[in-house]
Each structure stands twice: as structure tokens, then as C-alpha cells.
Amino acid sequence: MMTRRSDIFAAIERTGVRRGGLREWMRKNHDAFAEKLRTVRPNWDLLADVFAKAGLTDQRGNPPQKGETVRKTWQRVRREMSQAQPAPRVLKPKATPGEPVVRVARVQPAQPGDDPAGSERNRSMDDVMADWDARRPKMPEPLEE
């Protein structure tokens, strides 16, 4: 008779030692824990004791005995969480082969308190191009033979 997959998983769950409770706690409480660590320098050894008394374990199923274990677990969780953040979505127009791609810049409206006369964003395109022409190196005159 063939054993069902759910029976196998249930047996593993009953007999196995749950791994990584500390890591899971840090993932679930990442934002609040990170905020607390911004204002308080942690005593990692004391945190190891607190987490062990709470029944949280490392990835091998052992209660954390050293602060270094907790600190490294936190570093791994932070790295995982930062990599899990979706990258900002940038819409890119699809160009057909041979078709030039035109890039469009967004113009931000003037904010109260901005100086419209001296503001870089309010200069006309002609002014910007004239300034650019004045700054770029001039081509030397050809030598006459």
C-alpha cells in the first residue's frame, strides 16, 4: 500500500525538531525589531538568552546560546528581507527594431518658495543649450597648408 504524501509530512512534523524559530520570528517582526535596533544598541548575548527562554531556536533546532548566533541570524534576515523587496517598477516603452527610442523627462511643477527666475528647472531649452554650447570644448580650427 502506498503512503500518501500528507501522511509523510505529518509524520515528519510529529517527530522532527522545528528549525529556525528565531529566524521566522525575526522575519515576522522585522520592521519593529529593526526600528528598535535603530534607537538601542543591542546586547546580543542578552537577546540570545531572551530568545532561548522564549523557545526560539536556530536553524539546527538548538536554542541560541551565543549572541553571535543571534546577530548573524539577524544579518541574514535583513539581507533576505532587502532582497525580497520588489524593485521599483519602471515602465519601458517597447521599440521595434530600427526605431529610435525617445526618452521623455518629467517636469516637476514649481513648489511654493522656489525662485522661478533662477531655478534650473524653469530655464528655457534655448538657455540650457546655449549654456551647454558655451561650456563644451571648441573644435580647433584646421591648420592651413
N-term to C-term CA, the chain: 100
CA atoms lying within 13 Å on the CB side of residue 63: 11
Q: CA-to-CA distance for 70 and 48, rounded, in angstroms?
A: 6
Q: For residue range 93-106, what is the model confidence (pLDDT) as tens digits? A: 566 677 766 666 66
For the full predicted model, state whether its pTM sits above 0.75.
no
For the chain, helix, strand, coil in percent to 5 are 50, 0, 50
Residue 92, pLDDT above cutoff 70: no
Q: For residue range 28-84, what is the model confidence (pLDDT) as tens digits? A: 899 999 999 999 898 999 999 998 888 888 888 889 999 999 999 999 999 999 887
The secondary structure of 62-93, three-state, reads CCCCCHHHHHHHHHHHHHHHHHHCCCCCCCCC
